[in-house]
Amino acid sequence: MNSKKTNAAVAYTGEDDFRYETVTIEPPRADEILVNIKGVGICHTDLSFKSGAIPYPFPAVFGHEGSGVVEAIGDAVTKVKTGDHVVITFRSCGACELCSVGDTAYCQNFWPLNIIGCREDGTSSLSNDVGSVASNFFGQSSFAAHTITYEHNIVKIDPNLPIELFGPLGCSVQTGAGAVMRSLRARKGSSILIAGGGSVGLSAVMGAAIQQCATIIVLEPFEGRRELAKELGATHCIDPTSEDDLVSTIKEIVPNGVNNALDTTALPEIMEACFDSLGANAILGLVGIAPPGTPMPGNLDDLFMGGKGIKSIVEGDSNPDEFIPELVAHYQAGKLPIERLIKTYKLSEINQAIADQKSGACLKAVLIPDSEEPSV
Ligand code: CXF
Ligand code: ZN
């Protein structure tokens, strides 16, 4: 197989907008898989790297919530075959101490496999007329009509499902739902406070409903998101911007404090309110990426006296080979209606999609390569 032309949204240093352009993609090497992308979610992490705040090579193709159909496989690939429908998640090595016990989200090789913009040998699968284009973002770079990815990135799903909607299971949905279902292991009948009603927060709400939490409190300033949170299972929604004393308002609902809290905002005052709302023996999970130097919420004596804990959570502690099929089964049972979170755009409309996600006009933008037909 030869290199081929495909379309991608390419980020350039110092440019606010992505450029939609033609790039060349190499054929898959022995351990690689060529996927024809059908949909890809936009996650905040894509935009953090695009901003240049974290060192990364440019020009670059981002995108790490892809889904699509396997178009070709390398000689050493056995996990999938051509035509299989796959969700593409983060990349893990599968061999380190943490991967070998299923803690793949904490893979000891996470950074070089996901965040250096090239293969481990320094080459890139993507180029344009000028030269090399950084690829391999989260082992996928799926803001494109085709991508090269790896066995540990992919989870096969039922071909009868609307594949273009399932990319977010690979990051934001598994992060929110997994935080509640796996990291916090919220108990049936328990209470949980979820700060933030974006795609991660609302996935956490769906996860809490699946766990049959009795009290699900959501903090979210946008009214539309609070309404959707209620429809997805929240029992109480609070606009944090209209409260003078957020903790008292939460304690009116759960006088002894919540059994668990999850912050998706990384805002210091919100994390502090989450901490102060914890009941005895309760855990605060943190999934938002706080700027360097952000202080820890709470103080040590409050932590000790109540047996409380704070846990940072990556990708919902997901082991994707187990957890993504579990999430798909919940979708099929009507308990994880991801389509309620999603608005689709053409890949070439990426800049509008980002603007809408930032303004709150859309909760989770999913980009569909221009050659494909969106279903929602
Ligand atoms: C990322 C967040 C930063 C650490 C690696 C995983 N997850 C979602 O985008
Ligand atoms: Zn992400």
**Assigned architecture for domain 4-170+341-368:** Alpha-Beta Complex (3.90)
Atom 6 in ligand 1: residue holding the nearest Cα: 314
Q: How far apart are CA 200 and CA 217, in angstroms?
A: 15
Which atom of ligand 1 sits closest to the CA of residue 315? 7
Atom 4 in ligand 1: residue holding the nearest Cα: 314
What are the pocket residues of ligand 1 if the criterion is a CB atom closer than 6 Å to any ligand atom?
43, 45, 171, 289, 314-315
Which atom of ligand 1 sits closest to the CA of residue 64? 9
The side-by-side arrangement of strands in the sheet containing 215-219 is 236-238, 215-219, 191-195, 258-263, 278-286, 309-312
- Pocket test residue of 54, 65, 171, 264 for ligand 1, highest count of atoms within 8 A of CB: 171
Instruction: Domain ranges for the chain, please list them.
Output: 4-170+341-368, 177-314
Show the tokens assigned to 142. Answer: 């799926």
Cα 242 to ligand 1 centre (Å):
30
- Pocket test residue of 98, 153, 203, 314 for ligand 1, highest count of atoms within 8 A of CB: 314
115: number of Cβ within 10 Å = 19
Task: Answer for the pair 10, 132: CB distance below 8 angstroms, yes or no.
Answer: no
pLDDT at position 359: 93
Task: Answer for the pair 347, 370: CB distance below 8 angstroms, yes or no.
Answer: yes
- Pocket test residue of 43, 45, 364 for ligand 1, highest count of atoms within 8 A of CB: 45
Which residue stretches of the chain have pLDDT < 50?
374-376
Q: Give the N- to C-terminal CA distance of the chain in Å, as an integer.
A: 34
Which atom of ligand 1 sits closest to the CA of residue 43? 9
Cα 257 to ligand 2 centre (Å):
30
pLDDT at position 376: 47
Cα 137 to ligand 1 centre (Å):
11
Task: Answer for the pair 338, 122: CB distance below 8 angstroms, yes or no.
Answer: no
Nearest to 232 by CA among 194, 284, 261, 283: 194
Task: Answer for the pair 180, 121: CB distance below 8 angstroms, yes or no.
Answer: no
| Dihedral-angle region of residue 257 (phi above 0 means left; psi in -120 to 50 means alpha; beta otherwise) | left
pLDDT at position 372: 65
Which residues partner with 150 through β-bridges? Answer: 32
pLDDT at position 358: 92
**Assigned architecture for domain 177-314:** 3-Layer(aba) Sandwich (3.40)
Which atom of ligand 1 sits closest to the CA of residue 314? 6
Atom 5 in ligand 1: residue holding the nearest Cα: 314
- Pocket test residue of 115, 175, 203 for ligand 1, highest count of atoms within 8 A of CB: 175
Cα 198 to ligand 2 centre (Å):
12
